Protein backbone atom coordinates (compact mmCIF):
# COMPACT_ATOMS: atom_id res chain seq x y z
CA UNK A 1 0.00 0.00 0.00
CA UNK A 2 2.73 2.50 0.95
CA UNK A 3 4.56 1.87 -2.34
CA UNK A 4 1.46 2.88 -4.27
CA UNK A 5 1.08 6.26 -2.55
CA UNK A 6 4.23 7.82 -4.12
CA UNK A 7 3.23 6.43 -7.50
CA UNK A 8 -0.27 7.89 -7.17
CA UNK A 9 1.15 11.25 -6.12
CA UNK A 10 3.50 11.22 -9.12
CA UNK A 11 0.70 10.34 -11.52
CA UNK A 12 -1.55 13.00 -10.04
CA UNK A 13 1.12 15.63 -10.66
CA UNK A 14 1.49 14.83 -14.38
CA UNK A 15 -1.30 17.14 -15.60
CA UNK A 16 0.42 20.03 -13.82
CA UNK A 17 3.77 19.19 -15.38
CA UNK A 18 2.25 18.91 -18.84
CA UNK A 19 0.55 22.29 -18.54
CA UNK A 20 3.67 24.16 -17.39
CA UNK A 21 4.58 27.03 -19.67
CA UNK A 22 7.46 26.51 -22.06
CA UNK A 23 10.39 28.95 -22.04
CA UNK A 24 8.99 30.57 -25.20
CA UNK A 25 5.57 31.00 -23.57
CA UNK A 26 7.13 32.44 -20.42
CA UNK A 27 9.28 34.90 -22.37
CA UNK A 28 6.41 36.08 -24.57
CA UNK A 29 3.54 35.99 -22.08
CA UNK A 30 3.51 39.79 -21.88
CA UNK A 31 2.72 40.32 -25.56
CA UNK A 32 -0.80 41.57 -26.27
CA UNK A 33 -3.33 38.97 -27.46
CA UNK A 34 -0.61 36.31 -27.42
CA UNK A 35 -1.34 32.67 -28.20
CA UNK A 36 0.76 29.63 -28.97
CA UNK A 37 -1.48 27.87 -31.51
CA UNK A 38 1.03 25.53 -33.18
CA UNK A 39 4.55 24.21 -32.65
CA UNK A 40 7.14 26.93 -33.32
CA UNK A 41 4.38 29.48 -33.93
CA UNK A 42 3.26 32.42 -31.83
CA UNK A 43 0.42 34.78 -32.70
CA UNK A 44 0.09 38.19 -31.11
CA UNK A 45 -1.09 41.73 -31.32
CA UNK A 46 0.98 44.82 -31.93
CA UNK A 47 4.64 44.84 -30.97
CA UNK A 48 6.37 47.67 -29.15
CA UNK A 49 10.08 48.46 -29.11
CA UNK A 50 10.21 47.08 -25.57
CA UNK A 51 9.07 43.65 -26.85
CA UNK A 52 12.17 43.05 -28.98
CA UNK A 53 14.27 41.78 -26.05
CA UNK A 54 11.57 39.24 -25.18
CA UNK A 55 11.48 38.01 -28.79
CA UNK A 56 15.24 37.56 -28.71
CA UNK A 57 15.12 35.80 -25.32
CA UNK A 58 12.41 33.45 -26.60
CA UNK A 59 14.53 32.47 -29.59
CA UNK A 60 12.16 33.94 -32.15
CA UNK A 61 13.98 33.72 -35.47
CA UNK A 62 11.33 35.19 -37.75
CA UNK A 63 8.57 37.81 -37.46
CA UNK A 64 5.75 37.98 -39.99
CA UNK A 65 3.98 41.31 -39.63
CA UNK A 66 0.51 41.69 -41.16
CA UNK A 67 0.27 45.34 -40.10
CA UNK A 68 0.40 48.37 -42.33
CA UNK A 69 3.35 50.69 -41.65
CA UNK A 70 1.02 53.63 -41.03
CA UNK A 71 -0.39 51.83 -37.97
CA UNK A 72 2.84 52.50 -36.05
CA UNK A 73 4.33 55.73 -37.41
CA UNK A 74 6.57 56.24 -34.34
CA UNK A 75 8.07 52.73 -34.40
CA UNK A 76 10.10 51.27 -37.27
CA UNK A 77 9.42 47.65 -36.43
CA UNK A 78 11.26 46.24 -39.43
CA UNK A 79 14.49 48.05 -38.53
CA UNK A 80 14.23 47.15 -34.82
CA UNK A 81 13.58 43.47 -35.52
CA UNK A 82 16.38 43.22 -38.08
CA UNK A 83 18.80 45.07 -35.79
CA UNK A 84 18.11 42.39 -33.16
CA UNK A 85 19.17 39.74 -35.68
CA UNK A 86 15.65 38.43 -36.24
CA UNK A 87 14.23 37.86 -39.72
CA UNK A 88 11.37 40.14 -40.69
CA UNK A 89 8.70 39.97 -43.39
CA UNK A 90 5.74 42.27 -43.90
CA UNK A 91 2.55 41.36 -45.70
CA UNK A 92 0.28 44.37 -45.10
CA UNK A 93 -3.35 43.36 -44.64
CA UNK A 94 -5.47 46.50 -44.26
CA UNK A 95 -8.65 44.60 -43.54
CA UNK A 96 -11.28 42.43 -45.21
CA UNK A 97 -10.47 43.78 -48.68
CA UNK A 98 -6.99 42.25 -48.50
CA UNK A 99 -8.22 38.76 -47.63
CA UNK A 100 -7.47 37.54 -51.14
CA UNK A 101 -6.26 34.27 -52.63
CA UNK A 102 -3.05 35.99 -53.73
CA UNK A 103 -2.32 37.21 -50.20
CA UNK A 104 -3.12 33.79 -48.74
CA UNK A 105 -0.58 32.26 -51.14
CA UNK A 106 2.01 34.90 -50.14
CA UNK A 107 1.26 34.24 -46.47
CA UNK A 108 1.64 30.49 -46.95
CA UNK A 109 5.02 31.03 -48.62
CA UNK A 110 6.22 33.15 -45.66
CA UNK A 111 5.16 30.47 -43.18
CA UNK A 112 6.80 27.74 -45.24
CA UNK A 113 10.02 29.75 -45.54
CA UNK A 114 10.06 30.12 -41.75
CA UNK A 115 10.07 26.33 -41.48
CA UNK A 116 10.51 25.00 -37.95
CA UNK A 117 12.04 28.23 -36.64
CA UNK A 118 10.28 30.00 -33.79
CA UNK A 119 8.08 32.43 -35.70
CA UNK A 120 5.87 35.24 -34.44
CA UNK A 121 2.95 36.24 -36.66
CA UNK A 122 1.20 39.44 -35.63
CA UNK A 123 -1.00 42.37 -36.47
CA UNK A 124 -2.67 44.84 -34.10
CA UNK A 125 -4.85 42.30 -32.26
CA UNK A 126 -4.19 38.92 -33.96
CA UNK A 127 -7.54 39.23 -35.77
CA UNK A 128 -5.95 39.51 -39.23
CA UNK A 129 -3.54 36.72 -38.29
CA UNK A 130 -6.45 34.40 -37.50
CA UNK A 131 -8.30 35.42 -40.65
CA UNK A 132 -5.31 34.62 -42.85
CA UNK A 133 -4.72 31.33 -41.02
CA UNK A 134 -8.37 30.35 -41.57
CA UNK A 135 -8.22 31.13 -45.27
CA UNK A 136 -4.89 29.30 -45.58
CA UNK A 137 -6.35 26.26 -43.78
CA UNK A 138 -9.13 26.07 -46.36
CA UNK A 139 -7.27 27.11 -49.52
CA UNK A 140 -3.89 25.45 -48.96
CA UNK A 141 -4.61 22.65 -46.47
CA UNK A 142 -8.04 21.74 -47.86
CA UNK A 143 -9.84 21.94 -44.51
CA UNK A 144 -13.61 22.35 -44.39
CA UNK A 145 -14.94 25.84 -43.81
CA UNK A 146 -15.89 25.05 -40.21
CA UNK A 147 -12.49 23.48 -39.45
CA UNK A 148 -10.74 26.44 -41.08
CA UNK A 149 -12.80 28.93 -39.06
CA UNK A 150 -12.02 27.04 -35.84
CA UNK A 151 -8.31 27.19 -36.69
CA UNK A 152 -8.59 30.91 -37.37
CA UNK A 153 -10.23 31.49 -33.99
CA UNK A 154 -7.39 29.61 -32.26
CA UNK A 155 -4.97 32.10 -33.83
CA UNK A 156 -7.00 35.18 -32.84
CA UNK A 157 -9.66 35.77 -35.48
CA UNK A 158 -12.59 37.76 -34.12
CA UNK A 159 -14.33 40.55 -36.03
CA UNK A 160 -13.08 39.38 -39.45
CA UNK A 161 -14.90 36.05 -39.15
CA UNK A 162 -17.94 37.18 -41.21
CA UNK A 163 -15.64 38.34 -44.03
CA UNK A 164 -13.71 35.06 -43.87
CA UNK A 165 -16.98 33.09 -44.00
CA UNK A 166 -18.00 35.14 -47.03
CA UNK A 167 -14.67 34.44 -48.79
CA UNK A 168 -14.82 30.74 -48.02
CA UNK A 169 -18.38 30.53 -49.38
CA UNK A 170 -17.48 32.48 -52.51
CA UNK A 171 -14.41 30.34 -53.10
CA UNK A 172 -16.35 27.12 -52.63
CA UNK A 173 -18.98 28.42 -55.06
CA UNK A 174 -16.22 29.06 -57.59
CA UNK A 175 -16.59 32.83 -57.38
CA UNK A 176 -13.48 34.92 -57.08
CA UNK A 177 -13.83 37.50 -54.33
CA UNK A 178 -10.70 39.57 -54.45
CA UNK A 179 -7.42 38.55 -56.12
Question: What domains appear along the chain, each with residue ranges and CATH number?
Answer: 21-172 (3.90.190.10)
Q: CB-based burial of residue 92 (10 Å sphere; 0-12 exposed, 13-18 middle, 19+ buried)? A: middle
Q: For residues 33, 39, 169 and 68, what is the CA-based torsion angle, rounded to 10 degrees?
A: 50
Q: Which of 101, 96, 90, 97 lies closest to 140, judged by CA?
A: 101
Is residue 81 scored above 60 in pLDDT? yes
pLDDT band of residue 173 (cuts 50, 70, 90) is confident
Strand pairing report for 62-65 and 87-90: parallel
Is residue 118 scored above 50 in pLDDT? yes
Q: Could you tell me if 37 and 137 are in contact, meaning their C-beta atoms sit under 8 angstroms apart? A: no
Is residue 176 scored above 80 in pLDDT? no
Is residue 10 scored above 80 in pLDDT? no
pLDDT value at position 48? 95
Amino acid sequence: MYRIVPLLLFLASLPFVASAATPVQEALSGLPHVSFPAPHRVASGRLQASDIAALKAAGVAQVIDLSVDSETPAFDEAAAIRQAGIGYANLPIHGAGDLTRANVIRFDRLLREAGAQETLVHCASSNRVGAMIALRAALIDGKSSEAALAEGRRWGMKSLEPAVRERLQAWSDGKEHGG
